[in-house]
């Protein structure tokens, strides 16, 4: 936690009663324990004051909920996020990051009609193999993910990583940023890149999906879950030279098509879906196939958990800095829980941390 001591204290020094780092630590503990706002955090700290005094000075006691609120309204979220990335970098050390999924999420109730303020939209980087949030970047007002993603990427050490991004981030400029960070990419190709999509679709229709076509799938697998039988076929091809539009994409080496044919039981209803991808990896590299499947872990292991377990969507914290800072507190808490090495759901570990001070201390180490 020493990394967060670098955050500048925005308060008037003459009026400061509570140490900033101690406020941060109490807030992190509170969020781990189930706190959803400033009153909850203050209540947790008041309830655990005897235990907190074992490692915090608390010279003037426990801050009020108004103090917690004011402090997180004032802390510069950009600096807080930078310290967070440094903290994760120290945590990972020289370990290879592996796969990194980039995706955005809207905090739906963080809007403020009086201020004409839209809900906060945050783009996050998720290291699926480590189950760690690497960083977050807020989308500026009247902007979109296309401008936020490069800022997020350039703030991360991605050397050797494989980055996956949904269609919103399938942009030529973003591919160059990824390559400049010494990483590789697999990007979802959809209608926002119409010319490239049409060219790739047509190529696979002729060479993979047409009857008697020569291209064979590198993966052809069946699985059955929740009464649904799914057949998945993955086709990978070195970027065809005859598709001139592909030359506009920095570093592109291959194109991929994933076909999913699903049959619902017992109705027997059959649906088919085809998805297309651009990749900087050669066609023979198996990492890209695994990364396509792993990309969804950012939804299941991060966004879903933030909404369902941390109640992020219903949160009515609306102040511009405060809502960003609270979003980051949730991610700090989630990272600490995921790295605990203890089995059990996030919800269960949060309850245990709230009731068991020794377990909370274990999470903070």
Query: Is residue 286 predicted with pLDDT exceeding 90?
Result: no
For 235-239, which contacts have Cβ atoms below 8 Å and span 24 or more sequence positions? 235/204, 235/208, 235/259, 236/283, 236/284, 236/288, 236/289, 237/203, 237/204, 237/207, 237/208, 237/283, 238/282, 238/283
The residue from 231, 255, 284 where one domain ends is: 284
> What percent of the chain is predicted at pLDDT more than 70?
100
263 and 195 assigned to the same domain? yes
**Which of the listed residues 284, 308, 343 is the one where a domain comes to its end?**
284
The per-residue pLDDT for 140 is 86
The mean per-residue pLDDT over the stretch 35-48 comes to 98
Average pLDDT, the chain: 95
Scan for tokens 């309204």, then name that residue: 73
Q: Is residue 255 part of a domain?
A: yes
The CA distance from 8 to 1, in Å, is: 15
Choose the weakest-confidence range: 77-81, 117-121, 348-352: 117-121
pLDDT at 285: 87
Query: What's 349's DSSP letter?
Result: H
Residue 210 sits in the same domain as residue 271:
yes
| Cα separation values, 343 from 35, 308, 346, Å | 22, 19, 9
Q: Are 187 and 169 in contact (CB under 8 A)?
A: yes
Tokens of 192: 């926002």
176 vs 170: CA distance, rounded Å? 11
The whole-number pLDDT of residue 312 equals 97
- How much is the average pLDDT of 20-39? 98
- Could you identify the residue written with the tokens 């941060």? 24
Exposure letters 147-186 (e unless 16+ CB within 10 A, then b): ebbbbbbebbebeebbbbbbbbbbbeebbebbeebebbbb
- Same domain for 328 and 257? no
CA atoms within 13 A on the CB side of 48: 25
Q: Are residues 194 and 279 in the same domain?
A: yes
Dihedral over Cα of 88, 159, 139, 193: its sign: negative
Q: Looking at the structure, do residues 278 and 330 belong to the same domain, yes or no?
A: no
Sequence-distant (≥ 6) Cβ neighbours of residue 32 within 8 angstroms: 333, 336, 337, 350, 353, 354, 360, 363
Count of structural domains within the chain: 2
Tokens of 250: 């920095």
159 belongs to a structural domain: no
Here the CATH number for the domain that contains residue 272 is 2.20.130.10
**Is 310 within the bounds of a domain?**
no
Q: Rounded CA gap, 34 and 284, in Å?
A: 46
% residues pLDDT > 90 (the chain): 87
In a domain, 268, yes or no: yes
What pLDDT, on the 0 to 100 scale, is given for residue 222? 93
192-215 pLDDT, tens per residue? 999 999 999 999 999 999 999 999
Of 135-144, 193-202, 317-326, the poorest mean pLDDT is in: 135-144
Confidence (pLDDT) at 289: 92
Cβ-contact 188, 165 below 8 angstroms: yes
The residue range of the domain holding 21 is 2-76+321-364
Inside any domain, residue 193:
yes
**Lookup: tokens for 359:** 């377990």
Same domain, 277 and 331: no
Domain boundary among 237, 268, 284: 284
Q: Note the pLDDT of residue 143.
A: 82
Mean pLDDT computed over 281-290: 91
β-bridge mates for residue 106, sequence order = 121
Greater pLDDT, 357 or 144: 357
Q: Region 123-133: what's the mean pLDDT?
A: 97
Query: What pLDDT was estimated at residue 117?
Result: 85
| Count of CB atoms situated within 10 Å of the CB of 62 | 24
Report yes or no on 119 lying in a domain: no
> Quick check: 112 and 310 in contact, CB under 8 A?
no
Looking at the fold, whether 329 and 246 belong to one and the same domain comes out as: no
Fill in the DSSP letter of residue 3. Answer: G
Kindly state whether residue 172 falls inside one of the protein's structural domains.
no
> 96 lies in a domain?
no
Mean pLDDT of 340-361: 96
Cα 131 to chain centroid, rounded: 10
pLDDT above 80 for 142: no
């Amino acid at each position: 936690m020493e990394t967060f001591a670098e955050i500048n204290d925005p308060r008037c020094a003459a009026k400061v009663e509570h140490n900033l780092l101690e406020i941060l630590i109490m807030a992190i503990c509170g969020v781990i324990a189930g706190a959803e706002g400033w009153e909850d955090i203050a209540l947790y700290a008041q309830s655990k004051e005897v235990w907190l005094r074992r490692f915090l000075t608390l010279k003037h006691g426990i801050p009020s909920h108004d103090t917690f609120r004011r402090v997180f309204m004032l802390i510069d979220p950009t600096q807080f996020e930078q310290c967070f990335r440094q903290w994760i970098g120290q945590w990972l050390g020289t370990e290879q990051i592996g796969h990194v999924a980039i995706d955005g999420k809207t905090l739906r109730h963080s809007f403020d009609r009086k201020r004409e303020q839209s809900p906060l939209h945050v783009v996050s980087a998720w290291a699926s193999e480590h189950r760690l949030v690497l960083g977050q970047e807020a989308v500026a007002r009247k902007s979109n993910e296309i401008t936020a993603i490069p800022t997020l990427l350039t703030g991360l050490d991605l050397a050797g990583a494989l980055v996956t991004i949904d269609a919103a981030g399938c942009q030529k400029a973003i591919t160059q940023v990824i390559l400049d960070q010494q990483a590789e990419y697999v990007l979802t190709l959809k209608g926002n890149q119409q010319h490239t999509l049409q060219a790739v679709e047509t190529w696979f229709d002729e060479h993979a999906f047409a009857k008697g076509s020569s291209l064979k799938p590198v993966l052809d697998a069946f699985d059955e879950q929740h009464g649904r039988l799914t057949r998945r076929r993955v086709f990978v091809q070195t970027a065809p030279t005859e598709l001139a539009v592909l030359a506009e994409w920095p570093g592109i080496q291959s194109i991929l098509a994933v076909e999913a044919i699903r049959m619902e039981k017992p109705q027997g209803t059959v649906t088919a879906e085809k998805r297309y991808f651009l990749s900087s990896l050669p066609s023979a590299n198996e990492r890209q196939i695994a990364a396509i499947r792993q990309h969804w872990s950012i939804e299941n292991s991060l966004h879903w958990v933030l909404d369902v377990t941390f109640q992020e969507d219903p949160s009515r914290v609306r102040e511009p800095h405060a809502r960003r800072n609270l979003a980051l507190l949730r991610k700090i808490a989630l990272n600490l829980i995921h790295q605990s090495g203890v089995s059990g759901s996030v919800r269960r570990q949060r309850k245990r941390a709230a009731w068991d001070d020794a377990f909370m201390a274990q999470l903070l180490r």
